Structures are given as C-alpha cells and as structure tokens.
A and B are shown apart, each in its own frame.
Chain A
Amino acid sequence: MIVSRISRFISDYQNLVALFAGACILISLFGILSLPLAYEENQIYPKAIDRTSALDPYDRGGTPFNTTTVVAQYPENSPYLGYVTAYLTPLSKYLADHTLHAGTTIVSHPGGIIDEILYNTRGLDTVVETSILLSAFAIASYLFRRTE
C-alpha cells in the first residue's frame, strides 16, 4: 500500500524536483546540526589576505621578480613550479610601490600563486571548467537559434 503510494508520487516527474529539494533540506539540516567542523590550518592551497598590500583586492600572492615557494600535493609532477610568479611589469611595479591603485588592474597582471594553481598544478580543472562553459553555450545557442 505504502509502496504503491510512493511509486505513484515518484511517477510524476514534476514531483522529483520537490523530492530532491526535500533531500537537500534534510542533509543541510544534518550539516547544520553537525557544526562546528574544525578548519584545517595546514591547507595545500592557502589564501592569505593582506589588507595593507598596495595590490590589495587582487593581490595574487607571491613576490614579483623573486622566487616564491608554491606548495603542491605532488611537486614531482610540476617541475616548473614557481616560475610564473614574477607577474608585474616594471611600470606596474613602480605603480604598486608608489600608489594604492595598481590593485584594481587585475586583467593586466596574470601570474602569481593563483595562476600557479590555475594553470600549473591544477591545470586540468581549468580545462574542464572551460569545457563546461563551452557545452553550456552550445546548448543555449542551439535552443535559441532553432527554427520552429
């Protein structure tokens, strides 16, 4: 009896969204009840915010024109680790040293620890992310341009 009622409820696909949302609520409640979860201080991809830096909102980590140690899970797989941290041109280095406005020009300064992670140690993630974007745009453009 109960099984047939459950199967009748699930057989309508409009109800599946509600079912999934209910599962999300239950597990989120379980997650809230299991708080606090301890934060692991020894992070492999650390993020430090230095409010006094001249590059503040977009400080990408590392010291320009110098060697920077980058932590990796498997350093033996990334032999060129730490080579792309010199990420300011001499002009922007001058600007960063003397003004507080160089931090807003993120687009002109690729590099830093963020790019070490994005393009070197975790490069495959970046590839997959762009593939997701490509397929999403392909679907959207196909559906939009489809002739009726």
Chain B
Amino acid sequence: MLSIGGQDLFVLEFGDILHYFSPYTLTLFLLAVLFTGLAIISRPEEQIEIAFGGDAYYAKETTLPEMRFRRFMAIACGLASIGAMVSGDLFNYTLFTSMVGITNVGIVAAVKNRHVLNAAYAYGIVAMIATLPLFGSAALIVATTGTLSIPALAAGGQAVPLVGKALLVLGVVGEGMAPFYAAKAEMFRAPGAPYVIMCSLSSLLIFLRVVEIVTTI
C-alpha cells in the first residue's frame, strides 16, 4: 500500500464509515480544529477609510446579525473541514467537501457589498457545477469497485479507474475555488476579516486531503 499518510494511529468507527487518524490526517485535523477555535473566539475587523485630501475618515461597522451569521458559517465550515480531514469513506468525504463549498458561499455572500456579492454568485455557480463531478466520481468508483471505504480500496485488488480519480480532483477543485473569488473581491482585509480566512484554510485542507486520497486508493 503506497501511503503518504503513514501508519494509522487511531480509528474511529461509525458503522461502515471509518475515521482514521494517521500522522498526515491528524496534522490536518489539528489545523482545522485550531482554526475553528480561532474563528469562534475572534471578533470582526473594523475598517476605517480615509478620504483622500482631507481630514475626513469614516468607519465601517459590521452589524451584529451579519457578524453572527458569518461566525456561524465560519464555524460550520471549520466543522465540515474537520470531518473531511479524517473521513475514511469516499462518499462521506465528498459530502463534507460539498458542505465546505456551501458554507464558503455563505461566508462570501454575507458581506453586503455589490462586487463581493457578484463574486459570491459566480463562485456559487462553480460550487454547484462541481457537485456533479464530485458525486459522479463517488458513484463511478462504487460501481466499478463495489465499495467506498478508503482502507478497503487501498488494500483490495480492485483497480480504481483513472477517470474516477480525475473527477474527484476536479470536483474538489471546484468546491475549493472560493479563495480566488474572495481574493478578487478584495475581502481578505476588512469586509470579511477574519472569517474569510476560513475559506482559504478549508480549501487548502481539502486539497491536501484529496492528494492523500487519490494517491492511496
């Protein structure tokens, strides 16, 4: 078994769905837990804009409902990435990944700003299209191999078709495309900070995890 994850340290069972903690997934899991904790305790940034050529400046307040909603979405996104990091089941992983995508849409869309909302709309389209290759790959792999468990796929002799892996990577790329839009909408500073950082982090984590999955199965 070619493995970049290392030996399993601990396996958490939910029926047929195993969550396995190898040194690789454990590292990603701890990162996700850490950043979820940071999202819980952090306060929104307040932006101050200075009018050029004068003494005037104005502060942009984040209203309490908006702050609450974005914090909720950031925490949900963190929990989904925590689940995706250790999930040992292909369909379970795709579900967690699509939940990451949906909560990323929520984080970006909560900012009341015209160009941010345009970016969120474009990202929502990509995230919606991406569910097709994402779940398509899981369906293809279960049809051609008969199982969804990653340890069973890694140990068994069934060959996972290359197109299944390609579709999985494509789906994860589509779901994790949020940082492009967030960066384009220039919301890493004040309009979305600090909750927007959850977009980048969850995308990075699901990319890192899909590399491990594709090389393992």
Contact = CB atoms under 8 A, between A and B. Distances in A.
Given A17-B125, A24-B170, A77-B13, A31 B163 contact: yes
7 contacts: A30-B163, A31-B163, A72-B15, A72-B16, A78-B15, A132-B95, A142-B69
Interface residues of B, number: 58
A132 B158 contact: no
Given A20-B130, A73-B148, A136-B102, 20 more contacts: A13-B119, A14-B122, A16-B126, A16-B177, A17-B122, A20-B126, A20-B173, A20-B177, A24-B129, A37-B144, A44-B16, A73-B152, A74-B149, A77-B16, A122-B89, A123-B17, A131-B76, A131-B80, A135-B76, A146-B112
A27 interface: yes
Q: Which range contains the number of A residues in contact with the other chain? A: 35 or more
A91 to B, nearest CB: 32
A74 B150 CA distance: 12
A124 B17 CA distance: 7
Interface of B: 13-18, 69, 72-73, 76, 80, 83, 89, 91-92, 95-96, 98-99, 102-103, 105-106, 109-110, 112, 119, 122, 125-126, 129-130, 132-133, 140, 142-149, 152, 158, 161-163, 166-167, 170, 173-174, 177, 180-181, 184-185
Given A13-B181, A24-B129, A132-B99, A125 B147 contact: no
A28 B106 CA distance: 29
A23 B170 contact: yes
Interface in A26-66: 27, 30-31, 34, 37-45
A68 B57 CA distance: 73
Chain B contact residues, majority secondary structure = helix
A80 to B, nearest CB: 10
B174 A20 contact: yes
Interface of A: 11, 13-14, 16-17, 20-21, 23-24, 27, 30-31, 34, 37-45, 72-74, 77-78, 120-125, 128-129, 131-132, 135-136, 138-139, 142-143, 146
A93 to B, nearest CB: 28
A139 B99 CA distance: 12
A121 B15 contact: yes
Contact of A34 (B18, B69, B95, B161): B161
Nearest to B19: A124
A139 B101 CA distance: 12
A37 B130 CA distance: 22
Contacts of B181: 13, 16
Nearest to B159: A38
Contacts of A143: 109
Given A13-B119, A17-B125, A142-B110, A74 B16 contact: yes
A123 B18 CA distance: 12
B144 A124 contact: no
Nearest to B68: A142
A73 B184 contact: no
Contact of A128 (B96, B112, B149, B177): B96
A139 B140 contact: no
Contacts of A20: 126, 129-130, 173-174, 177
